[in-house]
Amino acid sequence: MNTSQTASTVYIVDDDEAVRDSLRWLLEANSYRVRAYASAEAFLADYNDDQVGVLIVDVRMPGMSGLQLQEELIARRSPMPVVFITGHGDVPMAVTTMKKGAVDFLEKPFDEADLREIVSRMFELAKANYEKLQTQREHDAMLSRLTAREQQVLERIVAGRLNKQIADDLGISIKTVEAHRANIMEKLQVTTVADLMKVALASEVSS
């Protein structure tokens, strides 16, 4: 049994019990851990972005649709890859979902080989996404330890300002700027300005 599969979860969201059961059987037969939900609302009530997972969701459902669920996950900056289940007439809609970041779509009836290939690819993407999220969270935690003045100095370092310019901007001495820079480097656990920029810019991108 593949431990990388069992350590992660495939989430299925579909109001059709027969579809949920069929997907669960196919995926569990391939050693995946599966959690199935009859509605997007039930999935969101249980959703935790701290664990690696991938989502297979029906485009059309009563209540919150699959498209609306995708929008909600985008708003939450979820790292979870999404694959849509579509009926015959939903392919143009599925293309629209992919432009918003969906990984792929499965057209009914399901082909087991296609399902295996798509889910395997999803997990590779999921792992990369979750690693990025973890790095961002670590950077954010380090940045949160900076004082207000250190934040001001950091913003100017990132903008390419020299120590003398930062001192003039903030009305402080160059020595004070140098002390703040040293504190910032220590708190962010970096030794070069290049690494400092990576931490600061990664946080800006994620915010």
Mean pLDDT of the chain: 85
Percent with pLDDT over 90 in the chain: 41
Domain assignment present for residue 28? The answer is: yes
**Mean pLDDT, to the nearest integer, of 199-203?**
76
C-alpha dist (Å) from residue 113 to 25, 31, 83: 14, 14, 15
Q: Per the structure block, which two tokens stand in for 46?
A: 């249980």
Taking the C-alpha atoms of residue 16 and residue 8, their distance in angstroms, rounded to an integer, is 24
Q: Say yes or no: 56 and 86 in one domain.
A: yes
Supply the DSSP string of 96-143, one letter for each residue: HHHHTT--EEEESSPPHHHHHHHHHHHHHHHHHHHHHHHHHHHHHHHH
Domain tally for the chain?
Answer: 2
Q: What is the pLDDT of residue 139?
A: 81
Q: Which of 106, 133, 160 is the last residue of a domain?
A: 133
Asked if 15 and 58 count as a contact pair (C-beta separation under 8 A), the reply is: yes
Model confidence at 15, in pLDDT bands (50, 70, 90)? very high
Domain assignment present for residue 52? The answer is: yes
> Which of 30, 190, 21 is closest to 123 using CA atoms?
30
Asked if 75 and 46 count as a contact pair (C-beta separation under 8 A), the reply is: no
Q: What is the pLDDT of residue 72?
A: 93
> Which of 119, 14, 8 is closest to 69 using CA atoms?
14
H or E element in which residue 166 lies = helix 163-170
Q: What is the pLDDT of residue 3?
A: 37
Q: What is the pLDDT of residue 89?
A: 62
Domain assignment present for residue 140? The answer is: no
Placement of tokens 């140098």 in the chain: 178
Domain assignment present for residue 182? The answer is: yes
CA torsion, ordered 147, 151, 153, 156, to nearest 10 deg: 180
User: Residue 101 pLDDT more than 80?
Assistant: no
**Mean pLDDT, to the nearest integer, of 21-32?**
91
Q: Which residue has the higher pLDDT, 88 or 19?
A: 19
4-8, 40-44, 157-161: least confident range:
4-8
Give me the amino acid identity at 61. M
Q: Say yes or no: 39 and 88 in one domain.
A: yes
Q: Say yes or no: 84 and 151 in one domain.
A: no
Q: What is the pLDDT of residue 90?
A: 64
pLDDT one-digit tens code per residue, 134-172: 887 788 888 888 999 999 999 999 898 999 999 999 999
**Mean pLDDT, to the nearest integer, of 76-101?**
75
User: Residue 4 pLDDT more than 70?
Assistant: no
